[in-house]
Amino acid sequence: MNAPTKFQIQPRLGEMLIAEQLASEQDIQRALDFQQRFGGRLGAVLIRMGAISEDSLLQILSKQLDLPIIHSNSIPFDASHLLQQIENTGIEKDWWLDQEVIVWANEDESLYCIARNPLDETLHEVFEHIYAGQEINWYLVRNQDLDRILDVLAKAQGDGEFDNADDINVLRELAEGAPVVEFVNNMFSQAIDRRASDVHVEPEEHTFFVRYRVDGVLHEHINLPKERFNPIASRIKLISGLDIAERRLPQDGRLNIRVSGQELDIRVSCLPGVHGESIVMRLLPKERETSRLQQLGFASDHLQMFDNWINEPHGIILVTGPTGSGKSTTLYAALDAVNNRSQKIITVEDPVEYQLKGITQVQAHSDIGFTFASALRSILRQDPDIVMIGEIRDVETAEIAIQASLTGHLVLSTLHTNDSVSAFTRLVDMGVEPFLVATSVKSVQAQRLVRCLCPHCAIPDEPLADIQARTQQLLPEPLKAQAANWKKPVGCHECQGSGYRGRVGIYELVEVSSELQSLVLQHAPAPELRKIANAQGYRTLREDGWIKAYQGITSVDEVLRITSEH
């Protein structure tokens, strides 16, 4: 089809994408081959293949067609206004829905138009007739925004596309349809573009929401009519290997997908709710490099302590914190630091999040009886020097880990506790004998992740005097010569208005001394253990956070949000 003369297309789309390094020549050729066999627009094919994201495509199309991109906050999602515009043309509403085109008048009476295919000659011929002499401003738009306004229009006249989408065969057919496939692919690609770690799809009574967790905080991405939920949920379940007919029981699945040119391993969890299944997806990029210990935000004294711990010949090192606090990342960085090919390193994980070269990684499968404990028994027959256990969840796993440490192995593992000293009482409460805990655990680290200030918009801050004074006392020696650099967030385009971009760890390190061992043997409560740790000079999570704020890495408010007083 020849493009309308209104849009002067210069270079070809594929050439522009290659020039901007948004797609490879191989991706373009594969898409062209697919297009030749099955048809479709090149951009849509590339998105469906996972080669590029829709946002990247729109940026290139905007340059190619010399058309601006319109965002959702500039689109009038008002059914009465849209219907009035349609009635003024004298053309049936069904035609607008079939052609997937919307026109509205702005405050200055100028006409705005968005369409699935703004190059469609038929549209331009019709518009030249019904809008003779009027100038129409054409815009490019995200598919999800166009779908949303078309849904508003369809619902206003009672033509909801998915009204009967409860039948399993209908659901399967809709889930394989191009609109639903493109929506799900775009949802993942936009999540990657926004650096999201999780995607939440949450139904309510009349709508459903898609939210992204970025830097540990959930942000609403889009909300759509409830009629579209079942096909989209079915698409996610279908590609995750889940049963689309089962909506009463929780289900867990996995999928490997390519979006925005990246290979992703996605863990999917479906939980039945009152208004439908809540679906949460954890995004794990396959090509992510293991972080170095130096990149995790350790202060110089903490880094030296932790490095000494992981080079010990035996004992247990515990990393504690809630889900999503970066424990696995720390352990992977520790293994990478000691992996000099002179030692046998084996891990048992559920799941294996990232693959490490030169290390034997074992995937636990509790559903078939291959638990952490049973895996550990086999691992110890493999002559390991260092063992990493994904998590100590029960007394059996804890006791085998302790026996491994007492027989000359270095054991790294995680534990869910609020602070470092609570790890000892947690193990004892789990059923481990206090003398075993006291003799095997050599050190404990607690950690959290705080958001880093956006370097483009953060401005100077002046926190309370007692915070400044306390921080000055806590500073490690190398930082005492540096001037304070307190800052606070503002928000800009670079950080999507949040004021933060990226995260860094704050840490609490406790080394097991003879005094701590004695208290653990006596089954002492956590407050008593904390007193001894304080006497040894340990910093709490909040105090380590003050140091990060002093350096201008994060803000005082962010430290207060993440940490408690003790």
DSSP characters for 130-184?
HTTT--EEEEB--HHHHHHHHHHHHHHTT--TTTTTTSHHHHHHHHTSHHHHHHH
pLDDT of residue 566: 63
pLDDT above 70 covers a percentage of the chain that reads: 95
CB 499 within 8 A of CB 455: no
Question: Does pLDDT of 6 surpass 70?
Answer: no
The pLDDT tens digits for 343-389 are 999 999 887 877 888 899 998 887 788 888 888 888 988 999 999 99
Question: Does pLDDT of 3 surpass 60?
Answer: no
pTM of the predicted structure, to 2 decimals? 0.79
Question: Does pLDDT of 228 surpass 90?
Answer: no
Say how many CA atoms lie within 13 Å of 373 toward its Cβ: 9
Spatial strand order in the sheet of 101-105: 101-105, 111-115, 136-139
DSSP assignment letter at 260: T
Q: How far is CA 297 from CA 23, 291, 306, 310, 502, in A?
A: 34, 11, 12, 17, 12
Residue 303's nearest CA partner among 154, 179, 476 is 476
pLDDT of residue 4: 46
pLDDT of residue 199: 96
Residue 541's nearest CA partner among 518, 525, 565 is 565
pLDDT of residue 545: 95
Question: Does pLDDT of 514 surpass 70?
Answer: yes
Highest average pLDDT, of 189-193, 321-325, 452-456, comes from 452-456
Q: What is the CA radius of gyration of the chain?
A: 28
CB 449 within 8 A of CB 503: yes
The pLDDT tens digits for 254-310 are 888 888 778 888 999 999 999 999 999 999 887 666 778 998 999 999 999 999 999
Please state which of the ranges 15-24, 167-176, 219-228 shows the lowest mean pLDDT: 167-176
Q: How far apart are CA 412 and CA 403, in angstroms?
A: 13
The pLDDT tens digits for 41-76 are 888 888 888 888 888 889 889 988 889 999 888 888
pLDDT of residue 2: 39
Phi/psi of residue 454, nearest 5 degrees:
-65, 125
Strands 500-511 and 441-453: antiparallel
Q: How far is CA 394 from CA 379, 399, 428, 436, 443, in A?
A: 18, 9, 11, 15, 20
Q: Hey, is 315 helix, strand or coil? A: strand
CA 187, 192, 193, 195 dihedral sign is positive
pLDDT of residue 5: 47
Segments of 339-492 assigned E as strands: 345-349, 360-363, 386-389, 410-415, 441-453, 459-460, 487-488
Question: Does pLDDT of 1 surpass 50?
Answer: no
Question: Once rounded to an integer, what is the mean pLDDT over residues 157-174?
Answer: 63
